[in-house]
């Protein structure tokens, strides 16, 4: 029995059928796009404590922690640390 469940994709509104009961999106791309959209909606505006630039803080970063500095200062600290190690 192929496509037993009829679903509507929350990203594009297209109807699709699937064998998986809990599947929400018609494609992996739409799943990723919707995830990114929701992350941007959850982001908050902050001021970087190091350089004073305004930046958008994501809800959670890749390593599941909230960053404390803007991406420019994060990159600076990472490069500076890398130079010390070498």
Number of H helices, E strands in the chain: 2, 4
At 7-57, the pLDDT tens digits run: 999 999 999 999 989 999 999 999 999 988 887 787 778 889 999 999 887
Residues 6+ apart with CB under 8 A from 80: none
Q: 1 pLDDT exceeds 60?
A: no
Tokens for 57, please give them: 């803080």
How is residue 83 annotated by DSSP?
H
- Encoded tokens for 71: 């991406």
User: Domain coordinates of the chain in residue numbers?
Assistant: 1-42, 44-86
């Amino acid at each position: 029995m192929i496509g037993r469940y009829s679903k509507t994709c929350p990203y594009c509104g297209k109807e699709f059928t699937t064998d998986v009961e809990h599947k929400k999106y018609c494609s992996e791309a739409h799943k990723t796009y919707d995830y990114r959209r929701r992350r941007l909606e959850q982001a908050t505006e902050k001021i970087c404590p190091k350089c004073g630039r305004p930046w958008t803080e994501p809800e959670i970063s890749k390593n599941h922690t909230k960053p404390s500095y803007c991406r420019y200062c994060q990159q600076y600290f990472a490069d500076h640390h890398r130079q010390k190690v070498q």
